Amino acid sequence: MDEKTAPKLPEPFVREMEALLTEYYGAEDFQNFLASYGEEPRAGLRLNRRKLPGLCLPEELAGEAGLGLRKIPWADNGYYCAREGKPARHPYYYAGLYYIQEPSAMIPASILPVRPGERVLDLCAAPGGKATELGARLAGRGVLYANDISHSRAKALLKNLEMAGIPNLFVTSEDPQKLLLEFPEQFDQVLIDAPCSGEGMFRRDPSLIRAFQERGPEEYVPVQRGLLEAGAGMLAPGGFLVYSTCTFSVEENEGNILAFLARHPEFEAAAPENLRDVREAAGLREGFGIPQAVRVWPHGAEGEGHFAVLLHKRGQRAGQSLPGTGAGDGAAKRQGRSRDRDWRQSLPAGAADFFRNVTADFGEGTLLSLREQLYLLPEGEKAHRNIRYVRTGLLLGSLSKSGVFEPSQALAMALAEEEYPSGVTIPAGDVRAVKYLKGETLELDGLAARGADGWTLVSIGGFPVGWGKRKGNTLKNKYYPGWRWQ
Ligand code: SAM
């Protein structure tokens, strides 16, 4: 990008930035800000810690895929990648090993101190850039509620969460005020990645300039205030809440937060622990009047414009437990529920035969059977009658009236290769990897196959991508048609 291709910024926005940056950082800083619009926006990807718990980059990604990966200083699993690298055109993307995400957008989920076993709410979650990270941090314990008011966007959110292999989830499409009625003080952690005027994304997506001209910051402030009130009401005492936007607007950021803190003395701004040692070196700036808040300016750090602040709700968490010991148990007790019976013992016959071979530990959830679909609700959780769900728990599969069980795509993604005895592994560089993802029948010559004929877990480079039905050397493709490689 150069001066000729740089986006034409709206005049009122430029004047406002000039006043703000000149007052706080000087006239030269504003000139540097303007100059940054002649530079290329940064692209990034975030490793999925659920599938790559050691956060080791698979060799194929670092090498032959030519993604030009370089560490992002503020996210332990984040990498800058070359825009021309096409990370979405790699079989490992389909295996859920990473999520393509703008580098600054990795900050909000990274500063929310989520621990396995907690109850976590992402209030404006679609398409899932932050929810996939929050879910991965839970490590299969506790629950992630991922909500988005837009039903179509919530469906995209579900796909991304399932692709990431997150089993302990609910996806809802609800008005946050309605969620508040059902879930007062029910969550240990809340993320509000609010809809905003998008000023920080003009370089990356110039089409947002027109949207900004039609709907400016003043239109978003009341919506954001409502979201803050709802999110804060659903947070349990002692819990943490992150509020984030991708705008520079002071009204939408510090304005909202300072007004919120004045209304809610039980909340205080907190300094994100994980950024303590990197803030300065990475060029992350403070919020105006809120030093704990994080601002990304495109001329200060390598990322697009962003704002994020961590808030702490004073008080003691009910059933609070030591890190990693399962605050979910506390959550269940808080709601007066007892431990669930082993769900495997409640499986109907056809499904029970299948699950006898599945060695994955999905905890002590509850089975839910709905229109021939079997779901596993996370431990201690139930589906609420008044809430519009897009997904209730892990979809295990379908069970026909005649008792025939078919495992789901979501189940394949939630398993590790060794957790189902019949499988075939396709190397990431083998042409059959893409053929499988396109839905083609495969001949398995030379591939490592294990177990008996029948349902077969198909992996690429050791990471499950879906199911097939094997008969001798031939694999009938059962990859979910809606997810096929195009
Ligand atoms: N967190 C998402 C991610 O990382 O992929 C991006 C969220 S985007 C900035 C804001 C989202 O808020 C949009 O998906 C929009 O549909 C949703 N939204 C707008 N108004 C909302 C409301 N009142 N309640 C819940 N979600 C809302």
pLDDT tens per residue, the chain (486 residues)?
A: 665 567 889 999 999 999 999 999 999 999 999 999 999 999 999 999 999 999 988 877 776 567 889 999 999 999 999 877 889 999 999 999 999 999 999 999 999 999 999 999 999 999 999 999 999 999 999 999 999 999 999 999 999 999 999 999 999 999 999 999 999 999 999 999 999 999 999 999 888 898 888 888 999 999 999 999 999 999 999 999 999 999 999 999 999 999 999 999 999 999 999 999 999 999 999 999 999 999 999 999 999 999 999 999 999 877 654 333 344 444 444 333 334 458 999 999 999 999 999 999 998 899 999 999 999 999 999 999 999 999 999 999 999 999 999 999 999 999 999 999 999 999 999 999 999 999 999 999 999 899 999 999 999 999 999 999 999 999 999 999 999 999
Quote the pLDDT of residue 333: 41
Pairing, β 169-172 against β 389-392: antiparallel
- Kindly report the number of other CB atoms within 10 A of residue 80's CB atom: 18
- CA-nearest residue for atom 16, ligand 1, is 150
Quote the pLDDT of residue 35: 96
Quote the pLDDT of residue 389: 98
Q: Which atom of ligand 1 is nearest to the CA of 123?
A: 25
Q: Nearest-CA neighbor of 33 among 16, 18, 19?
A: 18
Quote the pLDDT of residue 211: 87
Peptide bond into 127 cis (omega under 30): yes
Cβ proximity of 203 and 36 under 8 Å: yes
CATH code given to domain 416-483: 2.30.130.60
Q: Which atom of ligand 1 is nearest to the CA of 191?
A: 1
Residue 246 is a catalytic residue: yes
The residue type found at 421 is: P
Cβ proximity of 267 and 237 under 8 Å: no
At residue 423, the 3 state secondary structure works out as strand
Beta-carbon contacts of residue 336 (< 8 Å; ≥ 6 apart): none
The alpha-carbon radius of gyration of the chain (Å, integer) is 23
- CA-nearest residue for atom 24, ligand 1, is 149
The binding-site residues of ligand 1, defined as CB within 6 angstroms of any ligand atom, are: 105, 123-130, 148-150, 153, 176, 193, 195, 223, 227
The alpha carbon torsion through 101, 107, 109, 113 (nearest 10 deg) reads 150
Best residue for ligand 1 mutational test, from 46, 107, 120, 148 (most atoms within 8 Å of Cβ): 148
The Å distance, Cα 124 to ligand 1 centre, comes to 4
Best residue for ligand 1 mutational test, from 100, 112, 121, 124 (most atoms within 8 Å of Cβ): 124
At residue 84, the 3 state secondary structure works out as helix
Strand extents, DSSP E, 361-462? 366-370, 373-377, 389-392, 394-399, 405-407, 423-426, 442-443, 448-450, 454-460
Cβ proximity of 290 and 310 under 8 Å: no
CATH code given to domain 104-313: 3.40.50.150
pTM assigned to the model: 0.94
Cβ proximity of 297 and 284 under 8 Å: no
Give ∠ CA 79-85-88 in degrees, rounded to 5. Answer: 80
Quote the pLDDT of residue 141: 96
The Å distance, Cα 327 to ligand 1 centre, comes to 27
**What is d(CA 447, CA 151) in angstroms, rounded to the nearest whole number?**
41
Quote the pLDDT of residue 316: 87
The Å distance, Cα 123 to ligand 1 centre, comes to 7
Burial class of 431 by CB neighbour count within 10 A (0 to 12, 13 to 18, 19+): exposed
Quote the pLDDT of residue 463: 97
Give the ranges where 235-316 is alpha helix by DSSP (H). Answer: 256-263, 279-282
**What is d(CA 145, CA 382) in angstroms, rounded to the nearest whole number?**
12
Q: Nearest-CA neighbor of 450 among 428, 479, 414, 417?
A: 417
Name the active-site residue from 81, 124, 196, 246: 246
Partners of 467 in the β-ladder: 457
- CA-nearest residue for atom 12, ligand 1, is 124
